[in-house]
Structure 1
């Protein structure tokens, strides 16, 4: 046997490539794949075929390698008899068990139309000229059909009745060939019609499906093959197969038996009978996974041929199951352990992925929060800078506009307008303006009142202030007469006399920044 602990680094490049191909197709562990590939001389196709179809009881390569050192084995029939009677020693029993287990092949039914038989060489040479003429005529008629498309359709209508006739689609025994699932359904229906309702849990599918399911779930596959042409078939089914003890044994969940039955008149059942070397009917074979031979092999645990009493039938089945119950239990435990390990690994990977996703989400949120704070700080700083620039420009504009406001007319000027202003801080200011002065001049006086007060207190300014560039000034207040209330908006323009008259009491109401202040003048000056 190959050593399961071979180091992959010690393999050649071709062997590593073969190992990769085999594990990619079969999804088998490396420690189990390497011994199988070594037994198959690193042939990937043979290894894959043995993986799915099961290995023979005795490996011919290993037997040839050990032929010189191991003495010739005793007769196989003698070993099987000793094993069944449990008279050999434990060591000889183990070796004989390994030799006697007959491999159970996986049978996939092949349509009879696809089965091609190789003719003898003499007939091949004799019919070679006819085949050549047939080939030339076929190509000629195909060319004619290409030139005249209506001819094949007309010929097809003429021959359709013969092709679709019942005689053309039925086999010589009168049974139509169906798919494996339909064949199983037909067998179960005919079985119930012939022997009445029963409790046998037939597998409703093909033999290959039952074979794969038994290998996957580590169950016993009980194969029943019957032939209606045999006289003992009816008595075997009524007295043995439908016996309560047999039915209970098959239906018991602890036995893990999967039942598949077929009629050898059907193509699939006939191919199964040929593969299992069945020579006598009725036939019952117990197929089971044999981990002592290979990790994927399926073998025939016991054969029951011909009519058998119910007690003897049950005893043989129990004997076959008992011989393989312990290896199956170990295989189930190993699979359960592997599945648990796989589940733990998947759970760890899933937890790691969730943790990684959470870390990524936290990092993303942290980055977005930092960007948001930086953006808000920048916007706040921009607003502060804009306010500061506006305040500086406003101060400069006030100084510039204050220098352009005309002085108050003197007492000798008669054409003047006397305005009484109440400032937002409550201060009362009385000033005279020229009658033809624009209303904007009155607004500029209110806007630059503080600058004018400082100018009067400090004297004339030494330097001339320039108007700030790119600054658009907007008055943040309006002048309102208390009674009746009327707002003198600067946008409407006009002179002071035309808008207000000879005199007036006005209130300065803020419209931008701070709350608007409203008040009424108690009386005229």
Structure 2
């Protein structure tokens, strides 16, 4: 019984079964679990030495008698029954035969003696190939074979990075065919443009054009085809087959085929089965004859019901639409591939891909709209937050100002209360009783009142200033009971200053200074009480004066 899987794991399982043409769910799940649900590692585990045979055996044990491994492919919408050997069971070769030129480690005696000869032949062959390519003459096959023989003596190529291997293959194709990829020359073949060759500098010769091959691994090509909703064209080549030169020169550089692939944005990925990744792809796609061409695209897992959801991301998966293998003059010829693409592949797959692209664009538009709405909401929220913070700041400032004003009023009220208490105490304790004989002093107050009083000669300026100050007591304070004690820790602050009228002589306050010791007051005087405001004096009206 199959274990419970998440939607992501179910999708990986479906992709693995589509790639390996397997129907054993339990075995595939165990392989994915062993590979930590990494699809590429799982495929490599299956086709590593000994892994492919056990996987196929486990898969075939669940396959009913008389059912071919292509039974699952028959569920696809694209009809590929006319494809050559597509319906035949795959003939898997051992991994050791994937690289026919692989050498064992070390050299035997025969190889030691043959090494100088093969090196000389290889160098001569490379030199002749260079001269022939320089002159634009096709390279004979026996020269390429001799060069490959010399190359085989050096051992198999290392397992490169997939991007490095793909780029190396494209450059080899350009070198062998004399063609250039569309992207390398910046040509645009869109909107029905039929330009497929590039004029040289002298304008007499024409240069062939290759399709734009995907520079990367097969897995990234599958991911790109799935993400961008494009058709993937997989091209596998093998130097063991004698038709490869014709396929490369006549099919891959065919202008009409290149235009069809470019106009319909078909993603092309090519590989040489001498490379490990390309060999694994050949095994997964059941390639038995080369050149081999397969078309892969998104397909619905089942028939779409009228009431089904419009989102097809969870009901589609990549599937092999068709396989073409054999001679480049028949099954894999440029006219055959072009006719298949235009008359069979595109009419049957375009409606689905168009619907998926429309849904993808709708989702993207919805996502952009949602992002725009979220951004507008965040901006509005920011403005509201700033406005609220501004109001809160203004409210805090208002409350702070009111609190400061209230505090000052309270301090002023307390100061006035303490001043009133001190004046009532001063009226009782500091202002001396009027003497019959003494120094007669008249004082003009700021409010216009005039006071006259006899002071003892030993009275001090504190008594004089206190006499003037207590005149500021209000009427109710004047009749209230005088205080017996001054307010604690209180020092009177005189808001006036005494000065004589003529000549004007200021009499600053000095607590213990006696009246008899001040020349301006010894024989009596007429004074004015100048109210102090910000360090300035405001003299009272002294137009009237009393005679001594």
Range class of TM-score, shorter chain: 0.5 to 0.7
Question: In the alignment, is the contact (CA less than 8 A) between 1:402 and 1:451 conserved in 2?
Answer: no
Query: Which residue in 1 is equivalent to 2:245?
Result: 234
Query: Which residue in 1 is equivalent to 2:126?
Result: none
3-state SS in 1 of match to 2:424: helix
Question: C-alpha displacement at 1:226, in angstroms?
Answer: 2.4
Whole-angstrom CA distance in 1 between matches of 2:77 and 2:452 = 137
Query: Which residue in 2 is equivalent to 1:222?
Result: 233
Question: In the alignment, is the contact (CA less than 8 A) between 2:428 and 2:482 conserved in 1?
Answer: no
Query: Which residue in 2 is equivalent to 1:204?
Result: 215
Query: Which residue in 2 is equivalent to 1:265?
Result: 274
1:326 equivalent among 348, 351, 358: 351
Query: Which residue in 2 is equivalent to 1:302?
Result: 322
Question: C-alpha displacement at 1:178, in angstroms?
Answer: 2.1
Question: In the alignment, is the contact (CA less than 8 A) between 1:292 and 1:327 conserved in 2?
Answer: no
Question: In the alignment, is the contact (CA less than 8 A) between 2:421 and 2:486 conserved in 1?
Answer: yes
Please show how residues 51-66 of structure 1 align to structure 2 within 5 Å. none
Cα-to-partner distance string for 1:110-147 (whole Å, 9 max, x where unaligned):
xx9xxxxxxxxxxxxxxxxxxxxxxxxxxxxxxxxxxx
Question: In the alignment, is the contact (CA less than 8 A) between 1:240 and 1:313 conserved in 2?
Answer: no
Kindly indicate whether residue 287 of structure 2 is the aligned counterpart of residue 278 of structure 1.
Answer: yes
Please show how residues 119-198 of structure 1 align to structure 2 within 5 Å. 173-194=155-176, 195-198=178-181
Query: Which residue in 2 is equivalent to 1:511?
Result: 532
Whole-angstrom CA distance in 2 between matches of 1:231 and 1:329 = 40
Whole-angstrom CA distance in 1 between matches of 2:172 and 2:466 = 114
Whole-angstrom CA distance in 2 between matches of 1:221 and 1:454 = 107
Query: Which residue in 2 is equivalent to 1:380?
Result: 405
Query: Which residue in 1 is equivalent to 2:192?
Result: none
Query: Which residue in 1 is equivalent to 2:417?
Result: 392
Q: Indicate the larger mover: 211-220 or 333-342.
A: 333-342
Query: Which residue in 2 is equivalent to 1:58?
Result: none
- Distance verdict in 2 for CA 1:85–1:214, change over 3 Å: closer
1:247 equivalent among 258, 271, 278: 258
Question: In the alignment, is the contact (CA less than 8 A) between 2:460 and 2:514 conserved in 1?
Answer: yes
2:459 equivalent among 437, 452, 463: 437
Query: Which residue in 1 is equivalent to 2:497?
Result: 478
3-state SS in 1 of match to 2:261: helix
Please give the TM-score of this superposition, normalised by the length of structure 2.
0.59
Cα-to-partner distance string for 1:72-129 (whole Å, 9 max, x where unaligned):
9899699799974899xxxxxxxxxxx98x9xxxxxxxxx9xxxxxxxxxxxxxxxxx
Whole-angstrom CA distance in 2 between matches of 1:185 and 1:486 = 110
Query: Which residue in 2 is equivalent to 1:122?
Result: none
Question: In the alignment, is the contact (CA less than 8 A) between 2:238 and 2:272 conserved in 1?
Answer: yes
1:422 equivalent among 444, 447, 471: 444
1:316 equivalent among 327, 332, 340: 340
Whole-angstrom CA distance in 1 between matches of 2:287 and 2:339 = 21
Query: Which residue in 2 is equivalent to 1:146?
Result: none
Please give the TM-score of this superposition, normalised by the length of structure 1.
0.61
Question: C-alpha displacement at 1:421, in angstroms?
Answer: 2.9
- Distance verdict in 2 for CA 1:524–1:176, change over 3 Å: same
The two structures, once aligned, show a CA RMSD in angstroms of: 5.1
- Distance verdict in 2 for CA 1:325–1:467, change over 3 Å: same
- Distance verdict in 2 for CA 1:368–1:524, change over 3 Å: closer
Question: C-alpha displacement at 1:496, in angstroms?
Answer: 3.1
3-state SS in 1 of match to 2:267: strand
- Distance verdict in 2 for CA 1:45–1:287, change over 3 Å: same
1:468 equivalent among 481, 487, 498: 487
- Distance verdict in 2 for CA 1:300–1:482, change over 3 Å: farther
Whole-angstrom CA distance in 1 between matches of 2:527 and 2:222 = 107
Query: Which residue in 2 is equivalent to 1:8?
Result: none
Question: In the alignment, is the contact (CA less than 8 A) between 2:423 and 2:470 conserved in 1?
Answer: yes
Please show how residues 484-495 of structure 1 align to structure 2 within 5 Å. 487-490=506-509, 494-495=513-514
- Distance verdict in 2 for CA 1:437–1:304, change over 3 Å: same
Cα-to-partner distance string for 1:388-415 (whole Å, 9 max, x where unaligned):
23222222221211112344653534xx
- Distance verdict in 2 for CA 1:451–1:371, change over 3 Å: closer
Question: In the alignment, is the contact (CA less than 8 A) between 1:220 and 1:286 conserved in 2?
Answer: yes
Kindly indicate whether residue 523 of structure 2 is the aligned counterpart of residue 498 of structure 1.
Answer: no
Question: In the alignment, is the contact (CA less than 8 A) between 2:499 and 2:507 conserved in 1?
Answer: yes
Question: In the alignment, is the contact (CA less than 8 A) between 1:240 and 1:310 conserved in 2?
Answer: yes
3-state SS in 1 of match to 2:412: helix
- Distance verdict in 2 for CA 1:220–1:357, change over 3 Å: same
- Distance verdict in 2 for CA 1:464–1:329, change over 3 Å: closer
Whole-angstrom CA distance in 2 between matches of 1:26 and 1:508 = 103
Cα-to-partner distance string for 1:345-384 (whole Å, 9 max, x where unaligned):
5555555555556655555555555554444433333332
Question: C-alpha displacement at 1:219, in angstroms?
Answer: 0.7
Whole-angstrom CA distance in 2 between matches of 1:408 and 1:313 = 134
Considering fraction of residues, name the structure with more helix: 1
For structure 1, list consecutive stretches of 5 or more residues without a partner in the other structure.
1-13, 28-38, 55-63, 88-98, 103-111, 113-169
Question: C-alpha displacement at 1:185, in angstroms?
Answer: 2.6
- Distance verdict in 2 for CA 1:364–1:485, change over 3 Å: same
Whole-angstrom CA distance in 1 between matches of 2:392 and 2:502 = 61
Cα-to-partner distance string for 1:35-80 (whole Å, 9 max, x where unaligned):
xxxx969x987899999689xxxxxxxxx99x9xxx9989969979
Cα-to-partner distance string for 1:304-324 (whole Å, 9 max, x where unaligned):
324133222211233223321
- Distance verdict in 2 for CA 1:369–1:75, change over 3 Å: closer
Question: In the alignment, is the contact (CA less than 8 A) between 1:476 and 1:513 conserved in 2?
Answer: no
Whole-angstrom CA distance in 2 between matches of 1:86 and 1:40 = 26
